[in-house]
Structure formats: C-alpha cells, structure tokens
Amino acid sequence: MGSLPHIHKGKNKASQLKEFRLFSNLPPELRILVWQFASQEIRVITVKNSSQTTRGEDLKATHDAETVPSILHTCQESRAISQNYYKLRLGATFHQKPIYFSYDHDVLHFPQIQDLVVLYRLAKRNQESWVEWFKLKDNLKTMIIGSDFSFLVNVKTHRFWKVENFYIQDLDALRRESLLWPLGLEILETRWKTQSTAAGPNHLRGGMVPELKSISGSRLEYLMKRERVRYTR
C-alpha cells in the first residue's frame, strides 16, 4: 500500500456525480475492476484504551470500526469481491467482537502510548488473541501514532518493524522544535534495523525498516471525519 490519500480542496464536475444508473449494464470484467478498486479504500481506525489502567483484568480497548464497510453489503457481487480484501479479524482481542479488517489497506491509529500498550496486554490474555497480535504486527502495512515521545522508546512500537509506512502526527514540527525527538527517532530506527537484520535476507522485509512520515493533525482529522461521514450515510 502507498501513502495516505491527499486532501483535495475545491470542486469539479466529476466530483458532483451522485448516481450512475447504468452500472449493471457494464461488462462483468469492468464491474469487477470497480469493486476491486472500491475494496482498497483506505480506512483510518483509531484504537483507544477505554479502561482506567493499563494492567489488571478489566482492560478494554475501543475502536471506531463497528460499522461494516458498505462495499460488503452493496450487492452480492460486491460482497464476493470485497471479501478477498476484508476478513473478520481481532475477535479474540476485542472481546469476541471481530471487525472486518484489511491488513493491506486499513490503517491503525494509536493516539497515545497506553492505547498500544492496552492492545498488547489484551492480546496476551489467551492463545487465540496472542496469535492475532502476531498476525497484526507481521502483516499491517500502515500505522499512525500520536505525538507521544513514549512511543519511540517502547518495545511495543519496536515490534512493528515490518510496517511499510509509519506516520507520526506532526513529526516535521517535532523534529524542528525538540532536541529530544531526533534522539528518540534514532533509537526507534536502530531497534527496527536490529530486528530486520536478524530476520535475514530471505524474509520479505529483511534488511528493510518502516518509512517514517509526518501527518498533520488537520489531515488526520480530515481522514477520520471522512470515515464517519461515509459510514453514517
């Protein structure tokens, strides 16, 4: 998966198209291409710690992916195609309530370090949720973290060295304004490189580390707002 979509300002005639009534008359191969493209829409899913602590038996994490992606229930044809991308996952982690999730196109967003820590501790509860954690850190393509320095020095963040695109909120400003952040980023990348090198050249991501990118707070809010609008129509 590539970078997150850009914010497009202004309107054009193409963007004003509301309906296309002849879709069912298109050749099947064209309809399939449309459903495949629609199934690769990027979603930003925010995970938050909703418990009073990061330890104990009452841990709970919430997410904003309760709504099933519309492509899965548009019609029988769209559902058949989109199920190649979206799978029910993370049920054991989220209290037996799995979500439709795509490792390739969905983006996990952790605003604070305790949000990631709680997800990790929930995963350790049983074997099934522990397997889900390993699949997540091994297959997730894109991740966003908040402007919390603790992420950089926490071993849970270091485990996600197989991610391709790693966004940090307001990273460009943090690099300019803080003497501590460049040091923390160096620690993070060193930990990633150590694990990546240890994986060996035969591993798909062996020798590679995530690409660090900056995302502004306004752009992140736009992407999350876009999700709320799309799935509440």
pLDDT tens-place string over residues 117-133 = 999 999 998 999 999 99
Q: Is residue 198 part of a domain?
A: yes
Which tops the pLDDT comparison, 206 or 85?
85
Question: In which element (H, E) is residue 219 found?
Answer: helix 217-230
Q: Is residue 25 part of a domain?
A: no
pLDDT band at residue 180 using 50, 70 and 90 as cut-offs: very high
Q: Is residue 35 part of a domain?
A: no
Q: Is residue 80 part of a domain?
A: no
pLDDT of residue 57: 63
Q: Is residue 134 part of a domain?
A: yes
Does the pLDDT of residue 224 top 70, yes or no?
yes
Does the pLDDT of residue 207 top 90, yes or no?
no
Which tops the pLDDT comparison, 20 or 109?
109
Q: Is residue 109 part of a domain?
A: yes
Range of the domain at 218: 42-67+103-230
Which tops the pLDDT comparison, 167 or 24?
167
How large is the average pLDDT for residues 101-128? Answer: 94
Give the relative orientation of helices 113-123 and 127-139 as an angle to the nearest 10 degrees. Answer: 130
Of 47-51, 54-58, 110-114, the one with minimum mean pLDDT is 54-58
Q: Is residue 114 part of a domain?
A: yes
Does the pLDDT of residue 26 top 50, yes or no?
yes
pLDDT of residue 231: 42
Which tops the pLDDT comparison, 212 or 225?
212
Which residue type does 102 have?
Answer: S
**How many structural domains are present in the chain?**
1
> DSSP alpha helices (H): ranges in 140-216?
155-158, 171-177, 180-199
> DSSP alpha helices (H): ranges in 39-179?
76-82, 113-123, 127-139, 155-158, 171-177
How large is the average pLDDT for residues 79-87? Answer: 94
Does the pLDDT of residue 28 top 50, yes or no?
yes
pLDDT of residue 184: 96
Q: Is residue 84 part of a domain?
A: no
